[in-house]
Amino acid sequence: MRRSAAILFFLVAGAVAAWAAGVDRAGMDTSVAPGDDFWAYANGAWVKAHPIPADRSSYGVSAVLSEEAGGRTVDLIQAAAKGAAPGSDAQKVGDYYASFMDEAAIEAKGAAPLAPVLARVAAITDRASLMRVLGENMRADVAAFNATDLYTDNIFGLWAQPAFDAPETYAPYLIQGGLGMPDRAYYLNNDDTSKRVRAAYVTHMAAMLKLAGVADAPAKAVRVMALETKIAEAHASREDSDDVQKGNNPWTLADFAAKAPGMDWNAYFAAAGLGTQKRFVVWQASAAIGISRLVASEPVEIWKEYLTLRAIEHYANYLPKAFVAERFAFSGTALTGATELRARWKRAVAETNAALGEVVGKLYVAKYFSPADKAAVEAMVANIVAAFRARIEALSWMAPSTKAEAIRKLTSLKVGVGYPDTWQDYSGLSVVRGDAFGNRERAEAFAYAHEVAKLGKPVDRGEWVMTPQTVNAVNLPVLNALNFPAAILQAPYFDRDATAAMNYGAIGSVIGHEISHSFDDQGAQFDASGRLRNWWTPADLKRFQDAGTALAQQFDGYKPFPDLAVNGRQTLGENIADLAGLAATYDAYRASLRGKPAPMVDGLSGDQQFFLSFAQGWRTYYRPQQLRQRLIGDGHAPAQYRALTVRNLDAWYDAFPVKKGDKLYLPPDRRVKVW
């Protein structure tokens, strides 16, 4: 559901100094023809000069901003904690960070903090006690922006979002989980790379069990792998998980027993604190059916081995260095290619943000996001919305009834710029200095209780799913809302002193992308209220779907590995949002000139500045392992191909110019137009 109930504009964290505003001429590789590879033309010299750091699996422009935001954040955390009142939010932030940074105390405790967790698993004696522990392990991954991206190491995860058929209230979504590797494909694909990763994973699991003092670790790792493979077989594919129609499975409590026999669902939900819920949305029905069957058929002892391993993995970052190093050796090096663990202070910032994100965010915007910047971005949003509306009104193929529904949806968008209108209350969260492990447990319990408390309550369209210090942006179609955090609203994406061409090409294309997610292949299935409802005429829907098919086929042709290509259908929503967003933003940029010529900058015309700023916004590249992971399990095409969206806009051909015979050239009748 990454492009339906919630949409993620994906960016990758990284590290380097602050970025300057405007087009980076020095980072371009003008030996490459823009019509042959526009991403390399815009970014090639910078890529050659900046190899991926050892602690990264990818690198690029968003890495720069994320590193800068991290540096700012750690200073804010430490400054706020000095002299903070006991029990205040500032003290909680400081204590959480300091506790994670206190490696000596964590080493001294060893694996002792994990003992009560493992004792709960060891106390399982039958199916009834197994159900209780499985239910108690339920968590809400509030850092996930959509159901497909929700990654849970429990058999199921909770996601609290508006109901598809009743978007006025929050409903519990049950999401597939239970895997230690990122996607079912890692367990089921038969290529040599997948086989090597599986072998490394079994070795890793055995090492983690041994570190925790578990006997017979190698044999148990093999059995856990066999169980996880069966879970993977029950999982829905990435493409199916992205389909909101396949995810729209409202089940009552009685439905679980009838449709997914095996588990005692009543006991499971009671242990998860969800026993009073009358209705769930089961996002991946095949997983509910298959995992329930496995709970009944697989020996309790194997489930105990599995739960032991999952607990060790889950808390590894809060355990001694040996656990952290072993986890990184697999999750970092084997899976993504990174060769060096990130500095502890960076990990501490990430963990503190996860636990107390809006406390830190409030500090961040007070210092780094001005009212003038907020007003300028809000004005850009309004201009791009107006341009998108004009494009809808000008569509010759769309019926008046469909246009009216689309305009109604566009008009009712709720756009948040910089930070939420109301900050989250953390008064119920207890943070104890020196108890890093306990702080993590309490933060997760607090977050879960917060999500459960929303169920059945009126929906708050102003609630954010990102912190202001996050370099990212998001569309939430069930809420019909957008979030643009403060940390992405800075150079090179946005600078009030930059030309309109640069700002619209960079942050404007991000804004246009998120607006367009409301009208991509999944978002377009929701109406203005966030209800899952078909508001299209049959002819309009066919025309829209045909355009999507053409765009999917275009991306199918990008093949970074001999055995692995971009999946055009899997990435379709993001590609539609890129294309429609860029087209609308270009219109908004031209309108902002009010008929006057754009100023030349460094010999670049306004249109060249616009398209180069867009392409340099996709200045991200990957280690081979990470690139494979994205191709297998991500709804976003790799950055170098997203930059090639320009080949569908007529104005790009005139700007450089691009001609027949160039590798990216498309005849006018093959340039995809969606909105």
What is the pLDDT averaged over residues 278-306? Answer: 97
Range of the domain at 11: 7-75+372-424+457-670
Per-residue pLDDT, 495 = 94
Q: In whole angstroms, what is the distance from residue 586 CA to residue 607 CA?
A: 9
> Does pLDDT of 18 surpass 70?
no
Q: Is residue 570 part of a domain?
A: yes
Q: What is the mean pLDDT of residues 252-261?
A: 96
pLDDT at 81: 86
Q: Let me know if residue 357 belongs to a domain.
A: no
Same domain membership, residue 40 and residue 119: no
Q: Which of 318, 341, 363 is the last residue of a domain?
A: 318
CA distance 473 to 487: 10
Confidence of residue 221 (pLDDT cuts 50, 70, 90): very high
Residue 346 within a domain? no
Q: CA 481 to CA 75: how far, in whole Å?
A: 31
In a domain, 343, yes or no: no
Residues 308 and 400 reside in one and the same domain: no
In a shared domain, residues 561 and 657: yes
d(CA 265, CA 623): 42
> Is a pLDDT exceeding 80 seen at residue 14?
no
Give the pLDDT confidence of 320-358 residue by residue, as tens digits.
Answer: 999 999 999 999 999 999 999 999 999 999 999 999 999
CATH of the domain at 155: 1.10.1380.10
Quote the number of domains for the chain.
2
- DSSP assignment string, 444-460: HHHHHHHHHHHBTSBP-
pLDDT value at residue 351: 96
Residue 47 resides in a domain: yes
Q: In the listed set 302, 318, 334, which residue is the last one of a domain according to the structure? A: 318
Instruction: Grade residue 146 by pLDDT with cuts at 50, 70 and 90.
Output: low
Say if residue 55 is in the same domain as residue 117.
no
| pLDDT range class, residue 19, cuts 50, 70, 90 | low
User: Same structural domain for residues 293 and 376?
Assistant: no
Q: Of the ranges 77-91, 184-198, 500-514, which one carries the lowest mean pLDDT score?
A: 77-91
Give alpha helix (H) positions in 415-473.
436-454
Tell me, what's the pLDDT at 12? Answer: 31
The proportion of the chain whose per-residue pLDDT surpasses 90, expressed as a percent, equals: 92
> Which residues have CB under 8 Å from 169's CB, separation 6+?
162, 163, 456, 457, 458, 459
- pLDDT for 15: 32
Its pTM stands at 0.92
Do both 485 and 591 map to the same domain? yes
Does residue 33 form part of some domain?
A: yes
Q: 592 in a domain, yes or no?
A: yes
| Rounded average pLDDT over 377-383 | 97
- Whether 376 and 291 map to the same domain: the answer is no
In tens, the pLDDT along 435-484 reads: 999 999 999 999 999 999 999 999 999 999 999 999 999 999 889 999 99
Yes or no: say if 200 and 180 are a contact pair by the CB < 8 Å rule. Answer: no
User: 64 falls in which pLDDT band (50, 70, 90)?
Assistant: confident
Q: Does the pLDDT at position 383 exceed 70?
A: yes
Confirm whether 345 is domain-assigned: no
Instruction: Based on the fold, state whether residues 169 and 248 are members of the same structural domain.
Output: yes
Domain boundary (318, 340, 357) is at 318
Whether residue 197 sits in one domain with residue 64: no
User: Do residues 197 and 187 touch, judged by C-beta distance below 8 A?
Assistant: no
Assess whether 378 and 285 both reside in one domain: no
pLDDT band at 8 (very low <50, low <70, confident <90, very high): very low
CATH code of the domain in which 644 resides:
3.40.390.10
Check whether 381 has a pLDDT greater than 90. yes
pLDDT beyond 50 at 98: yes
Residues 218, 151 share a domain: yes
Per-residue pLDDT tens over the stretch 496-545: 999 999 999 999 999 999 999 999 999 999 999 999 999 999 999 999 99
Q: What percent of the chain has pLDDT over 70?
A: 95
The reply to whether 549 and 463 lie within a common domain is yes
